[in-house]
Structure 1
């Protein structure tokens, strides 16, 4: 039973995105965290939505594979970032991508490009871009993860280390002003670090929900890459740290595709 207009809006957002954080709901509905929690309680009591760590989701969505579920989280923000970054890549260029939901969105935005050379450890990205428009796709071998369909390990790192590409682009699990770019998995962090070292252009792409988070493993500090693309300007402390490190910040909502300004 829908008890209020906000309940309908909550369910509409869940229908679009699958899962939504409590903090995001509070911001988008213009109410406090406590109000959102009170609104959510009757929905969870009735079994209409399912509670997760700091978020809620539709019951059908919680049965999805982890990667599929993450693809639905902040999907519009990731799509906006991907569209902006894709506009800076030209036909015939080479690109290296690690596994991640934002890089998978980028692969989909690159479907209009031709003759790309793509190096990746992600089976999702490889399937998306292989055998279309004259592309060449090289996929790293190694242990294939069941949750993400990506290959990791020494063999995957050694494979991509042989390439030098125009664009080296990774996603991020967390970005902190002092710790830099972080992930929650050692193998993923090691692979991402190698990717950044193989490009003429090195870029991190992430939605704004990753700012201020603390991951488990450092990928690199903020001087370890040249550009950061996101959908919303980061908090002042992170923006200042990016500027001090010389990182070029591009914000999809604030800039035309392919444009940007120095962080800060």
Structure 2
């Protein structure tokens, strides 16, 4: 086995995913020895895969999380909340002039439902977005129904996809499990279909991804980087990751960090 190849993190994580798919479990110590890297490196890789919903860390290694779905919505919502607020605030400025905004399912996108300007029409299949929009009296809401998915707290399936196709959208705001040179990646096939449809019906599409998603991996490809007009991430992004995506053709925007509460 060529150990030199596995000094590259994306290739190493791909190999870990391949082994997980084939065996259902990987041992940190064994795979570190076989790939020619430290056990600490493997543990770091497995932590990233767990954050992406692609593995579940257990004593001595990691196992499959279950049928390829990502981490539950409520579990993901508490991760990187400051970065997600900064991304949402930066995205709000990019919605100026948009009358109809489609909001995807995702913990980074959901806060926008409470932030868009009065008079906006929101279209969404996300239960948290729909609930937040219902609580406002100054916007219009079009809720997209379908098969409910607890792990994403959203509706999906053929009915949802057909419903989205009936509307003309000024801006679609999407989320993703990962984004790399190959494009936009997710962990749920039904979720991928709706993202494709949202991008198709929108005049402008913005992808919101916190810095942990840059260069990460997920099993299902939604589309290339040209599926969206802008990729918006947070100030914690590694400049090398940002440059890699720019070189691959992405229009990148990095949201400035928000001032800490109580700090003047």
TM-score by length of 2: 0.66
Which residue of 187, 190, 207 corresponds with 2:190? 187
Deviation at 1:92, TM superposition (A): 6.5
> Counterpart of 1:230?
233
Deviation at 1:248, TM superposition (A): 2.1
Question: Which ranges in structure 2 are unaligned for 5 or more consecutive residues?
Answer: 1-38, 44-55, 59-70, 259-264
> Counterpart of 1:87?
93
Question: Which ranges in structure 1 are unaligned for 5 or more consecutive residues?
Answer: 1-32, 38-51, 55-64, 256-264
Deviation at 1:148, TM superposition (A): 3.0
The runs of at least 4 consecutive aligned structure 1 residues that moved more than 6 Å come to none
Which residue of 209, 212, 221 corresponds with 1:209? 212
Deviation at 1:238, TM superposition (A): 5.3
SS of aligned partner of 1:53: strand
> Counterpart of 1:167?
171
Deviation at 1:154, TM superposition (A): 0.6
User: How many matched pairs?
Assistant: 193
Deviation at 1:240, TM superposition (A): 3.6
Q: For 1:217 and 1:203, locate their aligned partners in 2 and report how far apart those are by CA, in whole Å.
A: 19
Name the Cα RMSD after superposition: 2.5
Q: For 1:128 and 1:235, locate their aligned partners in 2 and report how far apart those are by CA, in whole Å.
A: 34
After TM superposition, list the pairs within 5 Å mapping 1:6-45 onto structure 2: none
Deviation at 1:209, TM superposition (A): 0.2
TM-score by length of 1: 0.66
1:100 counterpart = 2:89: no
SS of aligned partner of 2:253: strand
Q: For 1:237 and 1:208, locate their aligned partners in 2 and report how far apart those are by CA, in whole Å.
A: 9
